[in-house]
Structure 1
């Protein structure tokens, strides 16, 4: 009896799908964002009108790590039997977007993977993470699972995911479909070349065109929080120093001028 899957007609689509060319952010922008936490970046983006920048779900594989880098995107899609299914699929993966995107990695890239929070697709494993790191990749954000967690942890590469699984990437319901395309991760839109800021609070997507505005707003915020912590540790009232009042803002400006003069 023949296998009914072999009788399915094949759609006229060529995989993997690749999006258009994109420009990565400059090294200076990335360096300046190194001093900005994901919480501050998220708050400042909210004030600038971007209300969905937080990638909800992925947590750090190794707490205490941090990354700032240019988004390199990978999109998984639901499997359909006329395109990808059956035995030997792990070997078919080498001809998919998962392998293709890794050949485009540039130093400082953060691989951002759309996987719908799948609990059964191990989007990245040890060998692929090792190759990504060798190419200069800075970190990985997966709206889904990874496998080989201990080995990836030993590599030291920062990874944010929703958990782990023993499955390989296409073993369950998803298939690596496209790269260099817009992706939806944890309720946030990420475009190729956007900037990812990720730490223990989770990943945040900074639109590339808004990086300078975020940096400017964040620099003031981070500085006055240092001042406020100092005053609160000295016994000051919370309502006077967080956030600053007009009076304590003047006090902060004087404090800041003294610090700048001392440099």
Structure 2
């Protein structure tokens, strides 16, 4: 079945989505997570993984990320809460091979990844905070998967929309997707008109004037949530 919201999401860049989230007073734009392999953009629904320090109480026989990969369907985006750790990797080459086999759209890691050359050869799109050759073996384990996670203060829930491109990563809560996508689409129309004005020779001070500054207006906190907030169109 076609996921119409993912289709709409894929036609919008992260900057427009970030502006739309800001207009709706919803946290969702992540900072410092850049493409570490091919700069290919991607969009999809999140499956989440939460990592943490290894210890006697956290020992697990399952390798991190494997349960999420076994559950992934084509178009899934795996979001790994590595909590900003850049000293060891929270994702690697063999996991990436599994992601390609499963048809995963992309990987987002709030921390470091390794095997970057291998991942690049596989053609998998990965956004992360850094690259390192150091393994997480013995130091980091998977605490949970397909659960609510915290990434840079942004809550990511399984099924949330994830968009990544050259500017970064944005999370759109599934419960507010209709509103955010609608706002972003309206902003896209305004930006297209501004770009056309530039091409037509309109003075930049006019193009980037009051109309631009007022393009993003936060919606009233008293606005009633509409039926589109959880729609699939």
Which residue does the alignment assign to 1:35? Answer: 11
Which residue does the alignment assign to 1:240? Answer: 206
TM-score w.r.t. structure 2 length? 0.84
RMSD between aligned residues: 2.2
For residues 81-92 of structure 1, the aligned pairs below 5 Å read: 81-84=56-59
Which residue does the alignment assign to 1:258? Answer: none
> Deviation at 1:55?
1.6
Which residue does the alignment assign to 1:78? Answer: 53
Which residue does the alignment assign to 1:190? Answer: 156
For residues 160-239 of structure 1, the aligned pairs below 5 Å read: 160-172=127-139, 174-239=140-205
1:48 aligns with 2:15: no
- What is the number of residues matched between the two proteins? 213
In 1, distance between residues paired with 2:112 and 2:193?
Answer: 40
> Deviation at 1:96?
4.1
Distance 1:234 1:164, change over 3 A: same
In 2, distance between residues paired with 1:112 and 1:123?
Answer: 11
Is the Cα–Cα contact under 8 Å of residues 113 and 142 in structure 1 kept in the other structure?
yes
1:127 aligns with 2:94: yes
TM-score w.r.t. structure 1 length? 0.75
Query: Which secondary structure state, in structure 1, belongs to the residue aligned with residue 109 of structure 2?
Result: strand
Is the Cα–Cα contact under 8 Å of residues 106 and 125 in structure 2 kept in the other structure?
yes
Which residue does the alignment assign to 1:110? Answer: 77
> Deviation at 1:82?
4.6
Distance 1:245 1:128, change over 3 A: closer
Give 5+ residue unaligned stretches, structure 2. Answer: 216-233
Distance 1:74 1:109, change over 3 A: same
> Deviation at 1:71?
0.5
Q: Provide Cα deviations, 1:94-140, integer angstroms capped at 9, x if missing partner.
A: x2452222111111110000111112221111111111111111100
Q: Provide Cα deviations, 1:50-109, integer angstroms capped at 9, x if missing partner.
A: 0x211222111135311110010000012223543xxxxxxx65x245222211111111
Is the Cα–Cα contact under 8 Å of residues 39 and 125 in structure 2 kept in the other structure?
no
